[in-house]
């Protein structure tokens, strides 16, 4: 016995990953999708991204993002329980509900303090923090970092940028730290056990285990899991044969390929799963230490009737079954993982350590590093 695991959590071994272990609130110098456009059709919405509470408001058709605290007395613009604590008295401006301070939504500049009159000396002398925001593909994107925002195109898969691309997205708030969610997504091992009994895999002979290599093509942001050996049922010494397949499971079925879907990850925490018939992207957007927004995305280039057919296929099969079943099981595990814990890796965890190494070596987030020193 090499390792006697005690029941008391030891210091988390993730400390060896320096930048990674500091990034409990996320890597900040990236664009993140935080909500669907539809959810801010009219009115406003408060979101938390990388620990920052941000107020999204649509004004004159455009979405703006500012810090969700009036600098005067720190009352949140979003109020609580639905009653918004902000108003729009003037186009392109936001008025705090408490004392009538009016901020320019674009610049953050205090345009007036209404209750101190037109000549109030404070006008123009207070700045509300604003956040770079874009609305693309039916989604609202935020840049929570402190450095100037880069191009959004650099932070989305190339497929988004193709002509006629249509993006289908589903947003959900999930428990657990964003890093464990990324790892669960890219994790080689769990797919073969946790997801055996989902409706999605009900009719396929899912392999029992495989050997994998973690690979990176030059110039590509994606780190990929490539299966070098795939094994179905095997004899385990002292235990017996596993898995036992029901007669209704078919290995010749295209679903066996589906089972061999290749899986890739890129920074800051974006997963790509390539099935024979479609691809799924998953963002794990940092909220607070114990929560993340989970964004499941499908992209399709199609027009006219094809687009209609795909929308139907997506909504029934992908959103209705794949998204729901597989990912409810994942959400469950990510939630169960404690905040810090001792870890004991096995061979398939090369996917996890590969991903952590990627963060260490290539993450844009200089801020996090500076904070530590």
Looking at beta carbons only, is 221 or 243 nearer to its own copies?
243
Q: How far apart are CA 263 and CA 275, in angstroms?
A: 9
Show the site string, 256-295: x = touches its own copies by CB under 8 A, - = not. Answer: ----------------------------------------
11 vs 19: CA distance, rounded Å: 17
What are the structure tokens assigned to 365, written together? Answer: 């987030």
Contact partners, residue 17, CB within 8 Å, separation at least 6: 356, 357, 359, 360
Span from 66-74, 247-255, 290-298, 365-373 in contact with its own copies (CB under 8 A): 66-74
Q: Is 72 in the site for its own copies (CB under 8 A)?
A: yes
d(CA 323, CA 280): 9
Instruction: Map tokens 């499971």 to a residue.
Output: 249
Please report, in angstroms and rounded to a whole number, the separation of the first and last CA atoms in the chain.
39
Cα–Cα distance between 75 and 214 in angstroms, integer? 49
Please identify, using beta-carbon distances, which residue of 3 and 61 lies nearer to its own copies: 3
Rounded to an integer, what distance in angstroms lies between the CA atom of residue 40 and that of residue 58? 7
- Name 300's bridge partners: 166
Smallest gap from residue 51 Cβ to its own copies (A): 10
Q: x-or-dash pattern for its own copies, window 17-36, by CB under 8 A? A: --------------------
CB of 200 to its own copies, least distance (A): 17
Quick one: 285 exposed, middle or buried, by C-beta within 10 A (0-12, 13-18, 19+)?
A: buried
Residue (169 or 352) nearer to its own copies, CB: 352
Site size for its own copies, by CB under 8 A?
Answer: 84
Cα(322)–Cα(241) distance, rounded to whole angstroms?
28
Nearest distance from residue 327's CB to its own copies, in Å?
A: 15
Shorter beta-carbon distance to its own copies: residue 159 or 233: 233
> Which residues ranging from 117 to 176 are in contact with its own copies (CB under 8 A)?
117-118, 120-122, 124-129
Restricting to residues 205-234, name those near its own copies by CB under 8 A.
208-209, 211, 231, 234
Alpha carbon 66 to chain centroid, angstroms = 21
Burial call 304-320: b when 16+ CB within 10 Å, e when fewer: eeeeeebeeebeeebbe
Distance CA 248, CA 345 (A): 34
Residue 252 to residues 22, 88, 275, 282, Cα–Cα distance (Å)? 46, 61, 16, 29
Q: Report the nearest approach of its own copies to the CB of residue 337 (Å).
A: 6
Q: Which is nearer to its own copies, 13 or 37 (CB)?
A: 13
Closest separation between CB of residue 6 and its own copies, Å?
7
Choice from 23, 40, 112, 214 touching its own copies (CB under 8 A): 112
Closer to its own copies by Cβ: residue 274 or 337: 337
Least Å distance, CB 258 to its own copies, is: 18
CB of 191 to its own copies, least distance (A): 8
Residue given tokens 């004159």 in the structure block: 60
Find the shortest distance in angstroms from Cβ 194 to its own copies. Answer: 6
Nearer to its own copies, 170 or 335 (CB): 335
Write out the binding residues for its own copies, residues 336-365 only, by CB under 8 A. 336-338, 341-348
Query: Closer CB to its own copies, residue 92 or residue 221?
Result: 92
Q: Which of residues 314-333 bind its own copies (CB under 8 A)?
A: 332-333
Residues 297-316 interacting with its own copies (rule: CB under 8 A): none
């Amino acid at each position: 016995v090499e390792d006697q695991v005690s029941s008391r959590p030891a210091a988390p071994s993730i400390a060896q990953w320096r930048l990674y272990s500091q990034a409990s609130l996320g890597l900040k110098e990236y664009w993140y999708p935080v909500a669907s456009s539809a959810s801010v059709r009219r009115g406003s919405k408060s979101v938390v991204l990388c620990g920052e509470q941000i107020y999204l408001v649509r004004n004159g058709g455009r979405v703006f993002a500012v810090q969700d605290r009036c600098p005067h007395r720190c009352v949140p613009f979003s109020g609580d329980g639905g009653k918004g604590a902000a108003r729009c008295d003037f186009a392109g401006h936001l008025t705090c509900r408490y004392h009538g301070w009016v901020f320019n939504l674009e610049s953050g500049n205090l345009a007036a303090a209404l209750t101190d009159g037109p000549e109030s000396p404070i006008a123009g002398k207070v700045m509300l923090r604003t956040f770079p925001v874009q609305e693309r593909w039916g989604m609202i994107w935020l840049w929570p970092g402190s450095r100037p925002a880069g191009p959004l195109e650099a932070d989305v898969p190339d497929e988004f940028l193709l002509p006629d691309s249509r993006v289908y997205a589903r947003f959900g708030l999930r428990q657990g730290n964003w890093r464990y969610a990324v790892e669960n997504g890219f994790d080689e091992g769990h797919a073969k056990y946790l997801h055996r009994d989902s409706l999605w895999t009900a009719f396929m002979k899912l392999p029992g285990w495989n050997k994998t290599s973690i690979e990176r093509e030059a110039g590509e942001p994606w780190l990929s899991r490539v299966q070098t050996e795939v094994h179905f049922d095997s004899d385990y010494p002292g235990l017996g044969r596993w898995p036992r397949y029901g007669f209704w499971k078919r290995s010749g079925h295209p679903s066996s390929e589906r089972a061999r879907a290749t899986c890739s990850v890129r920074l800051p925490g974006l997963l790509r799963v390539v099935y024979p018939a479609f691809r799924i992207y998953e963002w794990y957007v940092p909220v607070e230490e114990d929560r993340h927004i989970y964004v499941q995305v499908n992209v399709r280039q199609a027009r006219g009737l094809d687009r209609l057919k795909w929308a139907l296929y997506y909504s029934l099969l992908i959103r209705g079954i794949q998204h729901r079943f597989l990912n409810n099981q994942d959400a469950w595990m990510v939630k169960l993982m404690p905040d810090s814990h001792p870890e004991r890796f096995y061979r398939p965890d090369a996917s996890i350590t590969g991903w952590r190494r990627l963060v260490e070596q290539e993450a844009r987030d200089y801020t996090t590093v500076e904070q530590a020193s």
